[in-house]
Amino acid sequence: MTAIGPQRRPRRLRASAPLRRLVRETRPSAAALVLPIFVHESVTQTQPIESMPGVSHHTLDSLASLVDEAAAAGIGGVMLFAIPSQRDATGSAAADPDGILNRAIARAVAAADGRLVVMADLCLDEFTDHGHCGVLDERGGVDNDATLEAYGEMALAQARAGAHVLGLSGMMDGQVAHVRAVLDVAGYMDTSLLAYAAKYASAFYGPFRDAVQSDLQGDRKTYQMDPANGREGLLEAEIDEAEGADIVMVKPALPYLDVVAEVAAASRVPVAAYHVSGEYSQIEAAAQRGWLDRRAAHLEALTSMIRAGSDIVVTYAALDLAAWLSEN
């Protein structure tokens, strides 16, 4: 008598490319992608960033061209970071209407022409000479409440420049509530807030700090989260949502997909994940050495972030991913 095989054969639905495509559970799209862009006040032409293959410092003119390219590719948004020519202890250039970030916002909004969302990083680390995300007190620690005042001024400058979404990345307690109140009083009720709700003190930020030419003194462990803590990430997201965040984000992404999933399950607002510089550069470096398939690795990483519950993915590979998703 011939033995009867298993009744359930999940492999049936893997038998052909059309079948796999038909039953696919997770379907990333270009519209969910956000491309980070670095604008450098002191460069006169695009300059590659060595630790981030394929990523460059941009001028205001090349920024406009890149935003146009991103819009044409169907990408959902861009996130602007800026490197000023001068820094000081309080990061005063961040709130200067003529500062490089605020000029970049205006240029990007004009180039986007309503085709994508222009987001701006709202943090002082790129503008302070000590590299911290806030104003320091007399003991050299970051003064949470004094920093909130600086964030409020920075938020107004970015809103006036035309930013659609402000990315609050400093991890100060109460930052969402404070910035929301400042914007609303000034009449910018329609300016949205993306809260870096669960931002971990991660080893994966190294290439980013190279990109923004950070002179960080010490570390950020007193305000960014301990990588060992998962429940705290959910708590931070709940607080930010209650304070008025329109979007909450987990950063980095891949080492914290458990946190992404927990936040997505509980959140009533969209959830973003940031595929950070170190995660991106790992793939790029390995691909350059022939150790893995660059396209397959980036697509797999993106799929994992969406599968975990991310509605939005911030990634330096956004342009390539948009092209690959279109081909697929």
Name the token pair of 138.
Answer: 């007399």
**Exposure b/e, 263-293, CB count within 10 A at least 16 = b:** bbeebebbbbbbbbbbbbbbbbeebeeeeee
Question: Please, are residues 133 and 168 in contact by the beta-carbon 8 Å criterion?
Answer: no
> One of 103, 199, 220, 275 is an active-site residue; which one?
199
Catalytic residue flag (residue 221): no
Q: Name the one residue in this structure whose structure tokens are 């809260």.
A: 195
The maximal CA–CA distance of the chain, rounded, in angstroms, is 86
Burial class (CB in 10 A: 0-12, 13-18, 19+), 176: buried
Alpha helices (H) in the chain, listed in sequence order: 17-22, 60-72, 100-112, 144-161, 175-185, 206-211, 231-243, 257-266, 277-288, 294-308, 318-327
> One of 58, 132, 251, 298 is an active-site residue; which one?
251
300 Cβ partners below 8 Å, 6+ apart?
A: none
Residues classed as catalytic:
199, 251
